A and B are shown apart, each in its own frame.
Chain A
Amino acid sequence: MLDMTDVSMIYPGNHVALKNINCRIGSGEFVFIVGPSGAGKSTFIKLLFREIVPTTGTILLDGQNIPALTSREIPFMRRKLGIIFQDFRLLPDRTVYDNIAFAMQVIESPHRLIKRRVMNVLDLVGLRRRAYAHPNELSGGEQQRIAIARAIVNRPKVVIADEPTGNLDPETSRDIMGIFQEINDDGTTIIMATHDKEIVDSMSKRVIAIDHGEIVRDELNGVYGYEPEQ
């Protein structure tokens, strides 16, 4: 599914963000990317959806080398991914329904399919009754659920989440992780960068720890392994 070989990322000013990363993530896996602030987690995540291009190395997604894609090919690669951010990134002037439908409209899905799928994912995240509310009428947890719904509405093969619970209280975070688990149970690969020790320790999934730009630990049923940062 996802295969990273000798991936290094050096930002201008000779700042090394990632050094010789080699890892393979199989279809249907649930992987946490952990590490202290500035370790290279976000760089790792950004490389996966081609927001940035590595200085060296290959990143194969379904056999396609992401760094080598042309600008015309990038949108089609991104359709295989669902991306979720810490700050939700919802459009404030659109309803919940429109925010999710938007992800299907931009890939030119037919009307009927949009309606059915949006309602399905709203059921999955438990927010069908808020379909016509605006994001500013929702709590942080509800907004993140909408962001998750938007990420999965196109049925991506991989969901990439960058600190999805970073702005949420522990209880809401647990609810959100429940949704991720459901998505994973359906066979979708989940790659999540997180600082949330409690969640990582309680879910017992594969953990890839990055420190100073290098993979220092890769364990199945792993733990967070750091003291939580304040």
Chain B
Amino acid sequence: MSLSSKEYFIRETGKSIKRNGVMSAASVSTVAVSLLVLGMFLLLFLNTDNLAKYLEGQVEMTVYMEDTATQSELEAMGKKLQGMEGVVKVTEVSKDQAMARFKKRLGDQAGLLKALGKDNPFPASFEIQVDQPSRIRDLVPVVSKMPKVETARFGQEVVEHLFALTKILRIGGAILIIFLCLATLFIIANTIRLTVFARRKEVVIMKYVGATDWFIRWPFLLEGMTLGFGGALIASALVDIVYTSLMSRIYLTLAFFPILPAWPTLLYADLFILACGTFIGALGSYLSLKKFLRV
């Protein structure tokens, strides 16, 4: 592509956007709204996914030991567990610590425990955290068969519900993002179609004097990309403002909530929105030109 052609494309793109000023502005605004929804949904999706991962990460397995286990057996067991694949952290809870925890949980009613006298019915246990929640399912039967192990348990139902929820969110989120991208594509394709329709005579003349399809396409593609990028720029600015203000409110009321930090989340979201807007702009132009190029 020669320099004069590049100049020609840029000049034509500018002229066309100016000529269809109102239509271009309407198109940029509609794209901005559409991408704003897309961006907000993307952040919601990322945060829910993050929350699900966070909750999944909280799931741990507890291994209850038989009362007959000696201190050295417990220590050996602790080492053995620590050496298992995928095990991140092993916390030993002695019989006394278990009793203390229970007392604390009972609070004012801790007096009830006097009925037990000197007996401590709580078993020693190990709390095990793993790198991937899905590992727990495989670990339980292995650990259960180890010597002096009374039982090994984990919050099976919670984990399974979480897995199901995350899966639904991922599929649903992907479908919604695709749907919103298609809506944006439709808006840009329609705007460009109007532009092309207004300039169809020019397109025909270009074809007759021997312009290649790509030479004809470029100014329209650039126009679509500019409209898409313009809309995306507005959308990403709005997404940034809305997200940061929502974040500060959430921190005030739900400080423990694991919301994704503005940096670098918003950078990724903005880049996604800008790339999405520009790409969809180009694609919309390409599709709407197809019919007019058949001369």
Residues 68-99 of A contacting B (Cβ, < 8 Å): 71-72, 75-79, 81, 83, 89, 91
A149–B135 Cα gap in the complex (Å)? Answer: 78
A77–B210 Cα gap in the complex (Å)? Answer: 7
- A102 touching B205, Cβ below 8 Å: yes
Residue B91 CB within 8 A of the other chain: no
- B211 touching A51, Cβ below 8 Å: no
Cross-chain contact of B210 among A71, A78, A111 (Cβ < 8 A): A78
The chain A residue with its CB closest to the CB of B204 is A89
A75–B217 Cα gap in the complex (Å)? Answer: 14
The chain A residue with its CB closest to the CB of B1 is A108
Shortest A154–chain B CB gap in Å is 7
A15–B175 Cα gap in the complex (Å)? Answer: 50
- A91 touching B1, Cβ below 8 Å: no
**Can you sample 26 A-B contacts with CB below 8 Å?**
A49-B208, A72-B212, A75-B207, A75-B210, A75-B212, A75-B213, A76-B210, A78-B209, A79-B210, A83-B208, A83-B209, A89-B201, A89-B204, A89-B205, A106-B209, A106-B211, A107-B210, A107-B211, A108-B1, A108-B4, A108-B5, A108-B215, A109-B4, A111-B4, A150-B209, A154-B209
**Chain B residues within an 8 Å CB radius of A125:** none
Residue A110 CB within 8 A of the other chain: yes
List 5 A-B pairs, minimum CB-CB distance, nearest first. A106-B211, A79-B210, A78-B210, A103-B209, A75-B210
A sample of 12 more A-B contacts (CB under 8 A), given A76-B210, A78-B210, A81-B210, is: A51-B295, A89-B205, A91-B201, A102-B205, A102-B209, A103-B209, A106-B206, A106-B209, A106-B210, A106-B211, A107-B209, A110-B4
- A91 touching B205, Cβ below 8 Å: yes
Residue A105 CB within 8 A of the other chain: yes
Chain A contributes a number of interface residues (CB within 8 A of B) equal to 25
Cross-chain contact of B5 among A71, A78, A91, A105 (Cβ < 8 A): A105
Interface residues of B (CB under 8 A from A): 1-2, 4-5, 8, 201-202, 204-213, 215-216, 295
Cross-chain contact of B2 among A51, A91, A102, A108 (Cβ < 8 A): A108
A105–B6 Cα gap in the complex (Å)? Answer: 11
A49–B1 Cα gap in the complex (Å)? Answer: 25
Shortest B15–chain A CB gap in Å is 9
**Chain A residues within an 8 Å CB radius of B4:** 105, 108-111, 114
Cross-chain contact of B8 among A77, A89, A105 (Cβ < 8 A): A105
The chain A residue with its CB closest to the CB of B216 is A106
Contact count A vs B, C-beta below 8 Å: 56
- A78 touching B208, Cβ below 8 Å: yes
**Chain A residues within an 8 Å CB radius of B205:** 89, 91, 102
The chain B residue with its CB closest to the CB of A107 is B210
A3–B212 Cα gap in the complex (Å)? Answer: 25
Shortest B11–chain A CB gap in Å is 10
A77–B201 Cα gap in the complex (Å)? Answer: 20
A76–B211 Cα gap in the complex (Å)? Answer: 8
**Chain B residues within an 8 Å CB radius of A150:** 209
Contacts A51-B295, A108-B2, A111-B4 hold; do A91 and B202 have CB atoms under 8 A apart? yes
**Chain A residues within an 8 Å CB radius of B204:** 89
The chain A residue with its CB closest to the CB of B19 is A93
Shortest A188–chain B CB gap in Å is 16
A108–B1 Cα gap in the complex (Å)? Answer: 8
A154–B205 Cα gap in the complex (Å)? Answer: 14
* Most chain A Cβ neighbours within 10 Å, of B4, B8, B204, B213: B4
A110–B211 Cα gap in the complex (Å)? Answer: 15
The chain B residue with its CB closest to the CB of A93 is B19
- A78 touching B207, Cβ below 8 Å: yes
**Chain A residues within an 8 Å CB radius of B210:** 75-79, 81, 106-107, 154
A90–B269 Cα gap in the complex (Å)? Answer: 47
A103–B204 Cα gap in the complex (Å)? Answer: 12
**Chain A residues within an 8 Å CB radius of B207:** 75, 78
**Chain A residues within an 8 Å CB radius of B211:** 75, 106-107
Shortest A104–chain B CB gap in Å is 9
Residues 19-71 of A contacting B (Cβ, < 8 Å): 49, 51, 71
Contacts A51-B295, A89-B205 hold; do A106 and B213 have CB atoms under 8 A apart? no
A150–B208 Cα gap in the complex (Å)? Answer: 11
The chain B residue with its CB closest to the CB of A83 is B208
**Chain A residues within an 8 Å CB radius of B295:** 51
A78–B2 Cα gap in the complex (Å)? Answer: 20
- B2 touching A110, Cβ below 8 Å: yes
The chain B residue with its CB closest to the CB of A90 is B205
Shortest B33–chain A CB gap in Å is 32
Shortest B6–chain A CB gap in Å is 10
**Chain A residues within an 8 Å CB radius of B8:** 105
